[in-house]
Structure 1
Amino acid sequence: MLALVVWVGCTPEFPVDEDGLLITERAECYVSNFELLGPDFQTVRTKNAEIDTVAQTINVEVFYGTDLRNLYPQFSLVTDAKLDPKITGKVDFSDRVNPKTYTVVSGNRKVRKPYTVNITVQKP
Structure 2
Amino acid sequence: HRMHAERFSISHSAADRINEAERIVAVGTTVVRVLEAAGRESGKLRVQEDATNIFIYPPYRFHAVDVLLTNFHLPRSTLLMLVSAFAGREFLLRAYQEAIRKRYRFYSYGDCMLIL
Q: Name the TM tier (shorter chain).
A: under 0.3
> TM-score, normalized by length of structure 1?
0.20
Bigger radius of gyration among the two: 1
Give the strand-richer structure, 1 or 2: 1
Give the helix-richer structure, 1 or 2: 2
> TM-score, normalized by length of structure 2?
0.20
